Amino acid sequence: MVVVGERINPTGKKQLQEELKSGKTEEVRKFAFEQAQRGAQVLDVNVGMPGIIEKDVMVKTVELLSSLSELPLCIDSPSLEVIEAALRIYPGRALINSISGEPEKMTKLLAIAAKYGAMFVLLPLGGKGVPETAEKRQLIVDKVFTAAMKFGFTNKDIIIDGLVMTVSANQDSAAETLKLISNSSKNGFGTIVGLSNVSFGLPERGYINSAFLAMAVDRGLTMAIANPSLELLMNVKAAADVLTMKDKKSEIYIKRFAETQGGLGSKSSKPATQETIYDAVVNGNPESIKKLIEQALKAGEKPSDIVDNKLIPAISFVGDLYEKKTYFLPQLIASADAMKAAFVIVEPLLKSEAGKKIEKKIVLIATVKGDVHDIGKNIVALMLRNYGFEVIDLGKDVSATTIISKISQTGAKLVALSALMTTTMIEMKTVINLAKKQGIKCRFMIGGAVVTDAYAKEIGADGYSKDAYDAVKLAKKLSE
């Protein structure tokens, strides 16, 4: 049973509202990380609020989350324009929340969903309020599904919303929702509920929510929009997956409680702690790291200790995750950006710290003559800077004579050359031969899509790196 994290929604969250208005992303990053950590498997993204251009904020948020988190996104907005703008830039198959039976919007939204290959939540609402019975809701489901089939959708592309209403107003409402879930499940649809609605207006809502969740899972519920920080709820979800045989051999349940001693009062995971400088680097959070470093400095920590004991270990751990294919390029760059933000504050203080002498090793980097591709080279330069190198970036399409001249001017002992095409990689050999001819003593490392370790040996380069992190390791080795 999939939990859709509901926290990225400005309703009732003043801090998030202020950040969305000012263009900051710290709260969005925090909610994304916390929800994933606590077991959410999809992130619902809703940025609708007064005082912003919702489309622009939604696009920015989707772009951020697409690189920050591996969890799929549920695009949540009443606006067709906002939904389409988000789907256009989302690098995957998103879920739309939602498409109802309102005639004026249904066909347009179905066309948008089909255009971008999105799944969608089918909300059984017409234009005349909330249908009270499961039978009336089923009529709307049938209507929307009939229209959706014309666009190529099948029941595997659609999640039926059970339409949860509060039992404090009408105690029959939970039973009607359960009927619709059961019927939809039998017909091969996925099902979803906005879980917290069921308990609105009642005390100790967690018990109502958790009991309803267990009952709904028994009827075939496959998804729930909920707050994964609610421990009781997530524990019931874990138990329900065992009892419905969706958690094979109870592996996920056992893992969840592996560090506890059992019992209803036990904790499902370690208590949440405040984000640290180390965490901010690992999580790629450049906004919070500034505040965290300022707090650490105010508390009396030495800049050198922050660098040596927090920043460097964190970025090294990120490198390990990247090598193990746990992290990928977007996470690597996000962590590098956090390091960059940290050094803006710490570096000037290191220079003035008593007894702390900074000697940065210079790396000259360039894309060789005839080649205008520089994305890979730019990423390598970014990573090298964040590992303490002084990088002199000569740009792209740089001639051999210019590179050799800059080596002489700067005294660089390490030069990184990049090429993307087979027609331009031969320029690397030209640069290395010219350096030898002029008696310049420095080391060369090369990289690029067409370059190999064998080619590096053939032209007399000192090393080859296959990617940005590998380039950092090679630069360290060649600089020793």
- What pLDDT score does 353 carry? 62
Domain ranges of the chain: 2-256, 277-352, 362-479
DSSP assignment of 81-116 equals: HHHHHHHHH-SS--EEEEEES-HHHHHHHHHHHHHT
Q: Give the CA dihedral 32, 37, 39, 40, nearest 10 degrees.
A: 10
Contacts of 6 (CB under 8 A, 6+ apart): 44, 194, 196, 225, 226, 227
Tell me if the pTM is above 0.85. Answer: no
DSSP assignment of 258-288 equals: TTS--STT--SSPPP----HHHHHHTT-HHH
Cα–Cα distance, 121 to 220 (Å, whole number): 16
Cβ neighbours around 366 below 10 Å, total:
28
Residue 167 structure tokens: 């039992």
Name the residue among 332, 302, 327, 291 with its Cα closest to residue 315.
332
Counts for the chain of helices (H) and strands (E), in that order: 20, 13
Query: What burial class does residue 145 get, using C-beta atoms within 10 Å of its C-beta: 0-12 exposed, 13-18 middle, 19+ buried?
Result: middle
Pair 92, 66: CB distance under 8 Å: yes
Q: What residues of the chain score a pLDDT lower than 50?
A: 259-272, 354
Cα–Cα distance, 95 to 225 (Å, whole number): 13
CATH dotted code for 362-479: 3.40.50.280
- What pLDDT score does 141 carry? 97
- What pLDDT score does 164 carry? 93
Q: What is the pLDDT of residues 322-374, one digit of tens each?
A: 888 888 777 888 888 899 899 889 888 876 664 555 567 999 999 999 998 88
Q: Give the CA dihedral 10, 16, 20, 25, nearest 10 degrees.
A: -130
Name the residue among 391, 366, 356 with its Cα closest to residue 446.
366
Distance of CA 7 to the CA centre of its chain: 15
> What is the biggest distance separating any 2 CA atoms in the chain, rounded to whole angstroms?
89
Cα–Cα distance, 17 to 11 (Å, whole number): 8
Examine domains 2-256 and 277-352 and report if their fold is the same: no
DSSP class of residue 311? I
Residue 205 structure tokens: 């809502």
- What pLDDT score does 270 carry? 40
- Look at the domain 2-256 and name its fold: TIM Barrel (3.20.20)
> For tokens 């067709």, what's the residue?
80
Cα–Cα distance, 350 to 342 (Å, whole number): 12
Q: Which element (helix H / strand E) includes 393?
A: strand 390-393
Residue 131 structure tokens: 């249908």
CATH dotted code for 277-352: 1.10.1240.10
Cα–Cα distance, 188 to 111 (Å, whole number): 22
- What pLDDT score does 265 carry? 33
Q: What is the pLDDT of residues 90-119, one digit of tens each?
A: 999 999 999 999 988 999 999 999 999 999
